[in-house]
Amino acid sequence: MPEIIKIEHMTKDYGNGRGIFDFNISINEGEVYGLVGTNGSGKTTTMRHLMGFLAPDSGSCEIGGINCRKHSDQIMKRVGYVPGQIDFPDVGSGTNFLNIQAQYLGIADMSYTEELIDLFKIDTSAPLKRMSKGMKQKMALVAAFMAKPDILLLDEPSTGLDPVMRDTLIDLILEQKKRGATVFMSSHIFKELEDTCDKVTFIHNGKVINTVGRDLYNEDMPRLYRVGFADEGQYLEFKDHTGFQIQSSNDTYKHLMAAVPMNEMNSFVRELSNYDMRYMRYVPYSLEMYYKNNIETGGNV
Amino acid sequence: MFSLPLFKQSVKSNWVMWASITGVMSVLCAQFSALKMTQPLLFVIFYGMMTTILPAIYVLVTANKLIAGQIDRGSMAYILSTPVKRSTVVFTQGVFLVGSLVAMFGIETLVHLAVNAAKPITLATALGNSDLGIQGDLTASMIVQVNLSALVVCIAIAAVCFMFSGIFNSTKYSIGLSGIFVGVNILANMLAMFGSLGVSGLDKFKYLTICSFYDYKSVLFSHNDWITKMIFPAAIAVAALTIGSAVFKKKDLPL
């Protein structure tokens, strides 16, 4: 798959340590790519550069070989964008807004737009100013997806959506991927990134920490189990004597997290059968854990 | 270069303000030119003050809404995330602003022409002063010329407000500086008017206001000063529009 989005040594310094510094991101055509970071880490700034709204202090970003800042109008023919900050033009109802967007985008056939409106269950006849946060977000999503763009830049697309709608959004993103679209989305909700993204880049305080691919969820990776003990003595005994690696433990609540290699599941259960357990729970390894292990506690931040 | 959907959008979100100001201006114009009681104030009050104050209010609010307001709110993102160039946006909005002023003065002029055709008045009456030794009636061509002179000055005010709107991302700076500019010009114009009515010392204020380039007296006295005076506001308008567009095209947008 050819590279479609290229960010090279891009720096934008807002002073006081704010901004983004020496970003390098490469996204191939057809990929769903996630950008994760805390508030103020530079997600929106990155998106704004790709949209050509901001000019980098140094470095560059390109979409499809075209410089994002210099020829953004050419890029916009292929891009759908959900801004991080949702506020609509002063044009009355939602229907009005979507019709005007369709004119800008040169869409004559509104059937896909209607489909999206049904999918998100929006009452577009309502005035934009009266819409709730979630409704506004759904309007923004329809506006971004309605032209079936090749490239989708989604800045925290699930903000304000209820859990059901968030799942609808995830399905929609996967559908876009299926038809070959490239999706670049930022989020701090790990679930939606896990369910959709092929690759995820972690950023913190304006710096790229690292990029992980799907192989983060390697099938052969040790599985994590959380075990709660009824008795403190047994808890300590297991903690001190087991051959399994203890990832974390909590003495107050007498539970611990053990990493169990795939082929040692049986011996793990056999060993535990000697103990008085309160519960045992499988903990899927998630981006969130990765984030906590590598970013928050990592020395490289 | 020009985006019809954006133009329609601007019409949709600004027509109420435009229609009310145009309405007020037309009604005032009809009143001042038709009623015996107010006819002597037609030029001193209506053409002297109203034709700059009313459009200036419209322009102050609208110029800010056309660019800076949409960036501050973030709604400009929906326009710029489509294949519409920034230069197209600024050009279209500029055309709308200038065009709406032309339409405003066009309607007001038509109203005045209609009233004047029905009830012609002499220049002496219209100026409220028979000591000037001025003869004859107020003609249709004079009305058109006076309005043209006022229009060009209003376009210059609009252009300066538009420039601030294009330069700043934040409404508070855009409307603040536009407000100061409009306020100073209008206030100085009013003080200068009192100066011209005989309050000595105040006439110096005419050097502080762009409205001095609007010279209805020169039209009424059949001088050609008003034509040469139009060059300055026209130049200011062109310069301000150019600067505003150039900055808007280059600057960083927080969208």
Burial readout B75-97 (b: 16 or more C-beta within 10 A, e: otherwise) = bbbbbbbbbbbbebbbbbbbbbb
Domain boundaries, chain A: 3-216, 223-284
Name the residue among A73, A92, A97 with its Cβ closest to that of B84.
A73
Nearest to A89 among B70, B81, B252 (CB): B70
> Tokens standing for B251?
């600057």
Chain-chain contact of B73 with A79 (C-beta, under 8 angstroms) = no
ipTM here: 0.82
Determine the distance in angstroms separating the CA of A79 from the nearest CA of chain B, rounded to an integer: 7
HSE (side-chain half, CA atoms, 13 Å) at A111: 1
- What tokens were used for B203? 């006439």
Judge whether A82 and A144 are in contact, CB under 8 Å.
yes
CB A15, CB A179: distance < 8 Å: no
Does the distance separating the beta carbons of A74 and B6 come in below 8 Å? no
Contacts of A85 in chain B (CB under 8 A): 74, 77, 255
Mean pLDDT in order along chain B per 10 residues (255 residues) = 91 93 95 89 89 94 95 91 93 96 96 91 81 80 92 95 95 95 92 81 82 85 86 95 95 89
Partners of residue B77 in chain A, C-beta under 8 Å: 51, 53, 81, 83, 85
pLDDT at residue number B196 = 78
Instruction: Domain A3-216: give its CATH code.
Output: 3.40.50.300
Assess contact for A228 and A253: CB atoms under 8 A. yes
pLDDT of amino acid B12: 87
pLDDT at position B37 is 87
The predicted pLDDT at position B22 comes to 96
Residue A265's pLDDT is 85
C-alpha B152: how far from chain center: 7
List, for chain A, all residue ranges whose pLDDT scores fall below the cut of 50. 299-301
Residue range A223-284 forms a domain whose CATH class is alpha beta
Give me A103's structure tokens: 């004119």
pLDDT at A219: 62
pTM of the model: 0.85
Cβ contact (<8 Å) for A48 and B78?
no
% of chain A surpassing 90 pLDDT: 44
Distance CA B137, CA B127 (A): 11
Give the model's pLDDT for residue A173: 94
User: Any idea what the Cα angle at residue B38 is, between residues B35 and B40, rounded to 5°?
Assistant: 115
Three-state DSSP string of chain B: CCCHHHHHHHHHHHHHHHHHHHHHHHHHHHHHHHCCCCHHHHHHHHHHHHHHHHHHHHHHHHHHHHCHHHHHHCCHHHHHCCCCCHHHHHHHHHHHHHHHHHHHHHHHHHHHHHHHHHCCCEHHHHHCCCCCCCCCECCHHHHHHHHHHHHHHHHHHHHHHHHHHHHCCCHHHHHHHHHHHHHHHHHHHHHHHHHHCCCCCHHHHHHHCHHHHCCHHHHHCCCCHHHHHHHHHHHHHHHHHHHHHHHHHHCCCCC
Chain A to chain B, count of Cβ pairs less than 8 Å apart? Answer: 85
Between chains, do B81 and A76 touch, taking CB under 8 Å as contact? yes
pLDDT attached to residue B122? 86
